[in-house]
Amino acid sequence: MLLHGCNAQLSTRFYDSSCSNLTSVVTNVIRQAQNSDPRIHASLIRLHFHDCFVDGCDASLLLDTSGSIQTEKDAAPNQNSVRGFDVVDDIKTAVENFCPGIVSCADILALAAQISVSEAGGPSYTVPLGRRDGTTANPSGANNALPSPFEGLTSIQSKFSAVGLDDTDLVALSVLHLQRAPLQLQRHGSPDPTLDTNYGDTLRQSCPQSGGGSTLNDLDPTTRDAFDNNYFTNLQSNRGLLQSDQELFSTSGASTVSIVNSFANSQSTFFQSFGNSMINMGNISPLTGSNGQIRSDCRRSTPADQYMSTSTRRSATKATGVVFFKGGFRRINGSSPGAGPNHAVDHRPKC
């Protein structure tokens, strides 16, 4: 089981002193990207989800194949599913311009997801930060740990439980199948018997049996561009596009049924639970303290000798009490430039 180890070191004020404009920098990049890519909010949220379920929230999903590293991007659950890596690169570049060597790619994913939820009209929640980046990827872990849209409810519950998440988290986070997905209507030779008849007829028109699975369909056909609770009312009407989604409501006796009903009846209840569940997911096995590293390029792990050299230079800068930022410098009284309030580098607990 993956535990939420060391998450006490995460803080909502982690970058208050070292990168106080972080949120505005990330928000600006996302807004620019959204102008040309209406799906980017959903894509950034999904990246955070797919990252955290594999060995914790360490940005391993962002690593390209290089040397001994085999990327997670080619794992089956990530193919034709995760996207938006170029926008993450743009965010990292913008953040490095203002706060070089300070903010991890793992925190960028967590913050980008939170901002995307809010920008899409969803709930506002404050994300704890302070994660560090992993140095390797785990494609086999991605194949085994990530829930499939065609898995049964019991199997998906087991995968959520394995990372410390419960059924409320499962139902709340199921909306992360946001916007659109490629789909072939015919499953195992026959239509899904739980599917609403009229909805099934609509899908047959856009998803012919001879199709190659490349046609995009709205996962929420009623309010596709809004972040709301209509997804759950659709499940009550047997209009869930994915088998895994519909089973949340259609599985007789399942604990998830009452949660779906609760979220369908109250958007505020759903919003509150969703924010809590996103925080819970972001707390899955973060690397903190001296574990991991702060990548300069989210696609590549920094070699140990280069990273140690960079860390040594930062330590020397810390000793002088001055850190240089774009446009000026700031005296920091001996605190680490990568730490927030009360996170002096010599006193942070090690995990």
Structural domain boundaries, residue 247:
165-277
28 and 63 inside one domain: yes
How confident is the model at residue 332, as a pLDDT? 34
**Which whole-number Å values give the CA distances from 41 to 34, 112, 115, 168, 250, in the listed order?**
7, 8, 8, 23, 29
Residues 186 and 263 in one domain: yes
Torsion of CA 173, 179, 183, 186, to 10 degrees: 70
Q: Is residue 76 part of a domain?
A: yes
Same domain, 135 and 220: no
Query: Is the same domain home to 104 and 171?
Result: no
- Residue 350 maps to a domain: no
Burial profile 238-259: b = 16 or more Cβ within 10 angstroms, e = fewer: bbbbbbbbbbbbbeeebebbeb
Is 347 one of the annotated active-site residues of the chain?
Answer: no
- Please pick, among 4, 41, 50, 343, the residue that the annotation labels catalytic: 50
Whether residue 337 lies inside any domain: the answer is no
Q: Which residue has the tokens 């018997």?
A: 193
pLDDT at 150: 80
The answer to the question of whether 82 is labelled as a binding residue is no
Please tell me whether 72 is known to bind a ligand.
yes
CA distance 2 to 57: 11
| CB-CB contact of 34 with 195 (8 Å) | no
Question: Are both 198 and 312 inside the same structural domain?
Answer: no
Same domain assignment for residues 71 and 51: yes
State both tokens at 182. 């490629």
- Give me Rg for the CA atoms of the chain: 21
Q: State the pLDDT at residue 315.
A: 42
Q: Any bridge partners for residue 329, and if so which?
A: 324
**Average of per-residue pLDDT values in the chain:** 80
**88 in a known ligand binding site:** no
Q: Tell me: do 32 and 108 sit in the same domain.
A: yes
Say which CATH number the domain at 117 has. Answer: 1.10.520.10
Same domain? 20 vs 35: yes
Indicate whether 347 belongs to any domain: no
| Of the listed ranges 19-28, 109-118, 150-159, 204-213, the one predicted with least confidence | 204-213
Q: Is 96 annotated as a binding residue?
A: no
Task: Inform me whether the pLDDT recorded for 156 exceeds 50.
Answer: yes
- Size (the chain), residues: 351
60 is known to lie in a ligand binding site: yes
Query: What mean pLDDT do residues 215-228 have?
Result: 61
Asked if residue 130 lies in contact with residue 102, where contact means CB atoms within 8 angstroms, the answer is no
Residue 57 lies in a domain: yes
- Is 150 contained in some domain? no
Domain identity same for 296 and 233: no
Which among 261, 277, 293 is the end of a domain?
A: 277
Q: Is 196 annotated as a binding residue?
A: no
